[in-house]
Structure 1
């Protein structure tokens, strides 16, 4: 007996093949995550001008990172907390690094900012990125109670015996009161342009510099001078992102230079753990691998086509 072919088998086979292919391509083409520290801060002022700033730094990734640089615009050291150079930044969701600073402002409030740079090491790439954050006002600090001076106890005046000729007494002038201190002016924050974000990434065959310029920033122009190869210039306008790369070779260092850039130390290419040994070489393992994606997609589509052909075959079943 010949059983009629179900009309749904062909549709099911086509759908299964397409889903397998799309799932494989989506998995292999997933972009790399954007590694960055997540700093935040608050501050308050007491009536006497004493300021207290509290910082907190989180992690955007599910692996720990190493703090490679910490800079604050507050003119004092950290008085408490575990945020410091070479500290381990806990993985996302497992904790934060904190720090506290106290200082007394003079004429006007300085810009209260914190810049934190961290380093992540994954098997196929090494990422270094920094973030700058401006502290936000959190009200007025609780002022310590100031003791009120008590009035002096009057000293009894001795009685002077009467004399035939009264001597006129001259009243002593009362001591003048010291002028009261004028209250300290309330500091006001001056808005400043947002700072760009820089990322340095070492892959198996490149050293990549990326600048993300916020929309309310200023045009950034940075000159990158390698110890091997040609000098490159990267210009990034507000609201845009730009990057340049250098071929990775053993001993490669690149020195950045730009207006307003404080850190101009050479940056060295570092070979990730899973790269081939030697002077660079090998295919980059960062992000999407086009060849692998294409090959996987072809293979999965072939499987889908095979399922489709199987579904089209007419099967003969004989029964006694």
Structure 2
């Protein structure tokens, strides 16, 4: 069988021609597809304006030929500009990209932009042209917001200094920003009278609290208060004078976390030492006493609690001799003059507060100079010599010593009473009356009238005694005269003897 011979030359020639054509086409297109731009972007937040700033970088892929940007399309549609040192920015469109180089342009977009894209149509000097794009995704970024120009009062932080014993403090706004317009934050320094050097109630405001605010251009304040010269509490508090508590009483309101430096809000928004102090070295009272001796031997004690720092009741104890004692409570700003120490206990008096004798709180009874003096009257006849001492009403009992010759009689004369001593007439011409407690002496002359030469009992009268008749009228007149001048006599007769003829 004769098989026909197939010729493959023609098909192979056709295939070869096709391959050669395709290769040529690829070689021609390759240079065209190599020309391109690479577009990338970096984003920052401008806190002055609250915008995102994208810096686009457009890179020329060709090292041998420059390109010119023909058109620019931006999403969002905001200007894309090339920054030029010392000159106004220019649009990216129309900008040349050097061979193998790049150009950067800036686009500002809203702060909440989530996605941005830049599309560039570039044409090379060799007539090649290509459109490329680049993008940035901002989904994961927080929105850009402007940097604050002020700080809201509710977010502001502070620092403070505090010196409780001196009553001084400062408060300062932290950071470089002032409080926003119209905002004011007050702080107040206040001092108190206190019953103890540790916290105790009741407490009363001393003087005037000092209050000031931070706001506007004022970013630091100084506060000063007077501190009492006694137990005190000083507090630096958050707020104005309307926040001051006066008085601080048991189970009443407290400052709590309003004190600066406290662990809780708002006090913890200020850093610094604890803004509170308790101390002092003496009671906030001014106990005082005065004494007045009375003619009857008693002493009236006046107790007062009305000094500058008296803010609490004072319990006084008044002690006398022989175990006598009484307690009197005097309210602040008051006085009490109703305490009378009995005469028998007035030898030494002490006034005590909290178990200690107060300054000027000791006294001993002294006879007042204006007390009426006792009076002495006499009667004399040929048989006897009668002496009578009278103590005016309102005086204390008085001791009287009557001496005539070698005989002495002692009597205690009660107020408003009289005591009489009768001596038998003798040779002595005088009698001595002594009041030892008053330091007084009175010498009285025995000179009866009308005696017949005897002294009674039929005996001869002693030599030297006047012998005259006894006249009742004369004796009465002498007694009245002694009564009238008795006070004068005893005032003048301090340890001196004054002679009178009875």
TM-score (norm 1): 0.33
Q: Which has the higher contact order (CA 8 A, sep 6+)?
A: 1
- Which entry has the higher C-alpha Rg, 1 or 2? 2
TM-score (norm 2): 0.22
